[in-house]
């Protein structure tokens, strides 16, 4: 539904198809072309055990389908290279009143899909700020949200998702000046949030999510789809999230929650067998 609306509003939207059966999925991928990206119809679900599955050729998708445990609705979209951006915002009655943008530097998967483990606040993309306003106006959007898009740094871009939730890296835009929870409570209490008309969020704030980075790296040892070189480069990059000037979880004033999470990493780590086999076929 989102992609249909974004196309109607003239917002960059990569070619896509929705499929509910194996044969339909293959036909959809053939139609949009390879490489393509396959993901679940809704953000909280997974496609082949992953947040997103990049398919380089038809044979990979055929093998993944043979290992799929149950049919599900899947979205197939033409693959657009470039950095992922999160545009956090607060809107009232369809009017976007405040925004802050984060460029994702690294995720917990070598191919760039998955969850962000390192990012930086950047100046708001004016064009995508306009796209966001059109979406919010069309929907009569009220409250906080996050618009995700891909931009290749030149002229090509595409919308990814529009979510009413706050991801873990929301912590960095809070520091940058985007106080979404407080404004939402104010909106519910008084009907209007106390957002300064001249608000400008701070750019250049880099953050790291060391727990997610470390957990992903440890899991990669059980993932045949991750090469030895990728694992080595990833391991060397852990220092970046560990020494980041801002952390989305760790706080010296309240260390218990993150220490509990790190303790969980000492327990046996399990990964779904089907996902591993899909990853193995992708690596071949």
pLDDT, mean of residues 91-95: 97
Structural domain range at position 100: 83-207
Same domain, 24 and 135: no
The predicted model scores a pTM of: 0.85
Query: For 219-231, b where at least 16 C-beta lie within 10 A, e where not — what string?
Result: bbeebebbeeebe
Structure tokens that stand for 108 in this block: 């917990």
Boundary residue ending a domain (78, 93, 122):
78
pLDDT of 275 > 70? The answer is no
Q: Is the pLDDT of residue 20 over 50?
A: yes
**Average pLDDT of the residues of the chain:** 87
Residue 272 CB partners (closer than 8 Å, separation 6+): 49
The pLDDT value recorded for residue 8 is: 96
Structural domain contains residue 124: yes
Is 282 contained in some domain?
Answer: no
Higher-scoring residue by pLDDT: 260, 30: 30
Residue 100 confidence (pLDDT) = 96
274 domain-assigned: no
Residue 130 near residue 67 (C-beta atoms within 8 A) = no
Same domain, 47 and 92: no
Percent of the chain at pLDDT exceeding 90: 60
**Of 82 and 42, which is predicted with more confidence?**
82
Per-residue pLDDT, 262: 81
Is 90 exceeded by the pLDDT of residue 208?
yes
Between CA 158 and CA 224 the distance in angstroms is 30
Closest CA to 84 of 48, 111, 53: 111
**253-256, long-range: CB within 8 Å, 24+ apart, which pairs?**
none
pLDDT in tens, 135-175: 999 999 999 999 999 998 777 899 999 988 777 678 899 99
């Amino acid at each position: 539904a989102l992609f249909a609306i974004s196309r109607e509003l003239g917002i960059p939207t990569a070619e896509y198809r929705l499929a509910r059966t194996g044969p339909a999925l293959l036909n959809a991928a053939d139609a949009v072309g390879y490489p393509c990206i396959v993901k679940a119809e809704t953000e909280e679900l997974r496609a082949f055990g992953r947040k997103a599955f990049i398919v380089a050729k038809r044979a990979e998708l055929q093998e993944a389908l043979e290992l799929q445990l149950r049919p599900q609705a899947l979205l197939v979209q033409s693959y657009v290279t470039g950095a992922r951006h999160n545009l956090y915002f607060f809107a009232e009655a369809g009017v976007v009143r405040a925004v802050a943008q984060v460029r994702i530097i690294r995720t917990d998967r070598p191919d760039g899909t998955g969850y962000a483990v390192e990012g930086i606040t950047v100046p708001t993309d004016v064009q995508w700020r306009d796209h966001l306003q059109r979406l919010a106006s069309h929907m009569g959007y009220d409250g906080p949200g996050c618009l995700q898009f891909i931009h290749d740094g030149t002229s090509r871009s595409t919308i990814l998702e529009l979510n009413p939730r706050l991801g873990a890296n929301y912590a960095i835009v809070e520091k940058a000046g985007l106080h979404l929870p407080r404004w939402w409570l104010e909106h519910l209490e008084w009907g209007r949030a106390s957002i300064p008309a001249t608000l400008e969020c701070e750019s250049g704030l880099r953050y790291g999510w060391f727990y997610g980075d470390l957990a992903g790296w440890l899991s990669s040892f059980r993932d045949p789809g991750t090469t030895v070189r990728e694992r080595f480069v990833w391991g060397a990059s852990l220092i970046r999230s560990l020494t980041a000037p801002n952390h989305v979880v760790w706080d010296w004033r309240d260390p218990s929650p993150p220490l509990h999470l790190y303790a969980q990493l000492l327990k046996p780590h399990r990964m779904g067998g089907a996902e591993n086999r899909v990853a193995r076929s992708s690596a071949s």
